[in-house]
Every structure is written in structure tokens, then in C-alpha cells.
């Protein structure tokens, strides 16, 4: 069966095979230690204070990540009302413009102060003029936006885009979420 030649050829072939050293660079932990570590990782805290503290910490971390992504305009973390190419176009379109609606709140506050101070006629007329200016500006904005959306997105649903844009236009630029990604003067094509 086995002859001397077979044994010699077998011993000469063995050293030619490459020796592969593998390992993780540390000793394997004892089973008892590994199970103890795993139990500590998955075991909930015993008292309610510690549990609440862990939940708050986890919630604050996820909230922080979502807030950062929302500020950066990351599409994955945006709320459903802000998702999609139509909404992005609307955001960029209104963020690149200076609208009268942005000045409505400061002027309304100033007119309120004037009314409280005793100048009812000036405060009332100032707020009435501002409301009229905002309505005209919003009408112009609506017409222009509808044309731009029809040209840019002829086949996609544009439902709710105009009201979304008008609400964004009413908000101060610094308070808009997601944060404006374009500078003033930018015209999306």
C-alpha cells in the first residue's frame, strides 16, 4: 500500500505549502467572562432612575444626530413634508429671494408697540399696509412659483408645494428648517 516513495513525496510536498498565521491578537476570553460581559451589556438597569437616565441619553443622542442632519439638509432625516425634489426646489426657490413676508413679524411687533404706546392710528395703519404688502407679494410669489414648478416638474405631483413655499416665506430666514442651503440671489433652474 504505502511504499517508501509515497512517504518521501508526501514529506517533500508538506514544507512547500505556505504557512498562514491567523488570529485576533488577543486570547479568547473564558466562557464565564464572556457571558458575564454579555449579560451586563443587555441587562436593563435595576432602578428606574438609572433606566430613565440611559433612555434620556439615548434619546438626546438620536435627537442631536437628526437635528444635525436636518440643519445640513440630509434627505434621509427630513420629515415627510420636506422630502422630495419638488420640495427641495421650493426651498431653494424661496431661500434665494427676499420676500416681504419675512418682515411681517417685526413690523407687526412694532405696530403693536405703537398701539400700546398710544399711537393707535399709526400702529393700525402700519399693520394694515404690511398685511396688504404681504398679500400682494404672496400672490406674485404664487404665480411665479406655479410657472416654475410646471416648467421644472411637468410629470410629478406638485400638491401642497405652493402652501409649503408660502409658509416657508413667512418664516424668518434664520429660523427655517431645514436650514437654507443657498445664498440670497440664487435662482434655481
Rounded Cα distance between 101 and 9, Å, is 91
130 with 47, same domain?
no
64 with 88, same domain?
no
DSSP string, 144-167: HHHHHHHHH-SSS--TTHHHHHHH
Sign of CA dihedral 88, 155, 161, 80: negative
93 with 64, same domain?
no
Q: What is the pLDDT of residues 114-129, one digit of tens each?
A: 888 888 888 888 888 9
Evaluate whether residue 96 is within a structural domain: yes
DSSP letter, residue 185: T
| Host domain of residue 59 | 38-72
59 with 88, same domain?
no
Evaluate whether residue 120 is within a structural domain: yes
Per-residue pLDDT at 39 exceeds 90: no
136 with 60, same domain?
no
Evaluate whether residue 180 is within a structural domain: no
Query: For the chain, what is the radius of gyration of the CA atoms?
Result: 33
Q: What is the pLDDT of residues 53-91, one digit of tens each?
A: 888 988 998 888 888 877 887 787 777 888 889 999 999
The CA-based angle 176-109-183, given to 5 degrees, is: 30
65 with 115, same domain?
no
Q: How many domains does the chain have?
A: 2
The domain boundary residue, chosen from 72, 96, 130: 72
Rounded Cα distance between 52 and 20, Å, is 50
Rounded Cα distance between 93 and 165, Å, is 8
Amino acid at each position: 500500500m504505502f511504499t517508501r516513495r509515497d512517504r518521501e513525496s508526501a514529506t517533500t510536498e508538506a514544507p512547500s505549502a505556505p504557512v498562514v498565521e491567523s488570529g485576533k491578537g488577543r486570547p479568547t476570553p473564558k466562557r464565564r467572562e464572556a457571558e458575564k460581559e454579555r449579560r451586563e451589556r443587555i441587562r436593563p438597569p435595576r432602578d428606574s432612575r438609572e433606566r430613565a437616565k440611559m433612555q434620556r441619553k439615548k434619546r438626546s443622542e438620536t435627537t442631536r444626530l437628526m437635528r444635525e442632519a436636518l440643519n445640513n439638509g440630509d434627505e434621509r432625516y427630513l420629515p415627510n413634508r420636506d422630502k422630495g425634489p419638488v420640495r427641495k426646489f421650493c426651498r431653494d426657490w424661496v431661500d434665494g429671494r427676499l420676500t416681504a413676508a419675512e418682515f411681517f413679524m417685526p413690523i407687526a411687533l412694532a405696530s403693536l408697540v405703537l398701539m400700546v404706546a398710544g399711537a393707535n392710528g399709526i400702529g393700525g395703519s402700519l399693520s394694515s399696509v404690511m398685511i396688504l404688502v404681504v398679500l400682494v407679494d404672496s400672490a406674485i410669489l404664487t404665480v411665479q412659483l406655479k410657472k416654475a414648478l410646471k416648467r421644472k416638474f411637468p410629470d410629478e405631483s406638485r400638491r401642497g408645494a405652493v402652501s409649503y413655499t408660502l409658509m416657508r416665506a413667512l418664516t424668518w430666514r434664520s429660523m427655517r428648517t431645514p436650514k437654507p442651503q443657498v445664498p440670497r440671489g440664487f435662482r434655481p433652474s
